[in-house]
Chain A
Amino acid sequence: MHLNKSLKILIVFVFTMGIVYAGSKFLSVQVQSARVRSAPNFFMSKVVDKLKFGEKVTVLRSKDGWYKVKLPNNKTGWMSTSALTAKTFKLKAGGRDAQVQAGNEELALAGRGFSGDVEKSFRQNNQLNYKWVDWMQANPDYKISIEEMKKFLIDGEVIVPFEKGDK
């Protein structure tokens, strides 16, 4: 009976720890580059700032797939939930916890999971066409700005024009 009680306390403790852990307000950027916008909408807002992989933000509130966030420079704006993670990225050297220096994600995550190292070995053992994959990724013609997208939609009479002044 006594044991039963302490076990319950233990379970409550572990769960509380879990909730405190999950409730952390800091999130990290998990994609190469992410836009911070003035409103929770892609085509009806302005770009306030851009963040790189590993940079951290404080969550103020959330709404339909968007977080209102505060940036390290104290600016606020909205980011898509798909750009952020509760995970903190660790530096490779010494294994100490630290914020990844923007743009150094390959170095920071080397050896951790499916990475550039794994791809390199994979490519040696398989006859695949990576040439075109690299081309799709790097071709500047395929990097479409939000401004071009808006123009495309307006020119095609897909939607009505938006507010001006977006980056």
Chain B
Amino acid sequence: MKNIKSKQILKFCLLGIIALMLLSINVKSMDWGNVLNQVSKAVKTGTKIKKAMDVANLTPLQEHYIGRAVAANILAKYKPYYNQKADRYLNILGQTLAQASDRPNTYMGYRFLILDSDEINSFATPGGFIFITKGMIRCCNSEDSLAAVLAHEIAHVQWKHGLRSIRTKRLVSVGAVLLGEVAVKSGSGDFKNVLKAFNGSVNDISNKLINSKYSRATEVVADQTAVTILTRVGYNPQGFIDLLKTMQEKFRHDRHGFYKTHPAPKSRIRVVKQCLRGYTIKEINNNNARNQRFKANLAGI
């Protein structure tokens, strides 16, 4: 049975080679070098298109444009909370953590913004636009806890979780364009297909972030990566556990945002504690320099 199958595969390959040989006759006189060249090219192109179906292979610049659109979508639903002092503090903390991640470079770098909402929530778009609500900030009692929220969102960007929620079929038909192999003119039929794929991709990610949720396994990876980032920089991971405990407490009354889109804090605490086996964890010092500036910069939120 196995033999018959392999014979069929061989036959198929032979037909393919003959077809390529015939094609090459049209162009040049037949020679093996040319045939092999054609086969190699066909294999290479096939692999490339297949790769294009893996959204993780979009270039950082393309990811940046998707991220901008998803961010614009979030900002159409959530009002930004403009506070220069708080936003700058958030950016220094967040960008510092991002530098210690395994993906310090996105196309334009990471940016952070506070959203004027009481809902407990935070979002990370592809390319590194990260949002955190006032409600989520209120769950943080220390800079170490706030660092944990941001590190979790940075982890989603690092692993390209947003991009991976794009339905593969959207990108297949425009694979060659996405790989930069073919250029399309604005307004052409192909351009419309690229626009359609873009629109669909932005919707897929926005829906995932705002209305639906990542898989439990995805969230576990983000929490584990967050612990790695925090410990690399020197933040106390106890801040992460404190944050999850506060969230657990608040979810008794508030079941919006993070409550719907993330695993229960209790199970996340287990994940964090597992990562920290062997570490001696100290209690958070609420009066040290970093927590004094935490209170000063975020006062009024």
Residues of A within 8 A of B (CB): 3-4, 7, 10, 13-14, 17-18, 21, 30-32, 34, 42-43, 53, 65, 80, 82-83, 85, 87, 89-90, 92, 95, 105, 109-119, 121-122, 125-130, 132-133, 136-137, 141-144, 146, 148-149, 152-153, 155-159
Contact = CB atoms under 8 A, between A and B. Distances in A.
B97 to A, nearest CB: 9
Given A32-B108, A133-B75, A116 B92 contact: no
B92 A7 contact: no
A20 B234 CA distance: 42
Contacts of B103: 80, 82
B147 to A, nearest CB: 9
18 contacts: A10-B36, A13-B36, A30-B59, A30-B107, A31-B106, A32-B108, A110-B183, A114-B178, A118-B191, A119-B68, A128-B76, A129-B72, A130-B72, A136-B129, A137-B68, A146-B99, A152-B92, A158-B233
B165 to A, nearest CB: 16
B58 A113 contact: yes
B298 interface: no
Nearest to B91: A142
Given A113-B177, A144-B91, A153-B234, A132 B65 contact: no
Contacts of B68: 119, 130, 133, 137
Interface of B: 10, 13-14, 17, 36, 39-40, 43-44, 58-62, 65-66, 68-69, 71-73, 75-76, 80, 84, 87-88, 91-93, 95-96, 99-100, 102-109, 111-113, 129, 143, 174, 177-180, 182-186, 191, 194-195, 198-199, 201-202, 233-235, 288-290, 293
Nearest to A118: B198
Contacts of A30: 59-61, 107
Nearest to B47: A18
Contacts of A34: 105
B80 A132 contact: yes
Nearest to A9: B36
B102 A65 contact: yes
Contact of A149 (B44, B95, B113, B202): B95
Contact of B104 (A42, A105, A128): A42
Contacts of A129: 72, 75-76
A122 B184 contact: no
A156 B290 contact: yes
Contact of B184 (A4, A14, A82, A111): A111
B123 to A, nearest CB: 13
Given A30-B60, A144-B92, A121 B76 contact: no
A165 B98 CA distance: 22
B58 A114 contact: yes
B36 A152 contact: no
A43 B99 contact: yes
B113 A132 contact: yes
A137 B111 contact: yes
Given A30-B60, A133-B71, A95 B183 contact: yes
Nearest to B186: A117
A159 B87 CA distance: 23
A87 B113 contact: no
Contacts of A113: 58-59, 62, 174, 177-180, 194
Contacts of A109: 59, 61, 180
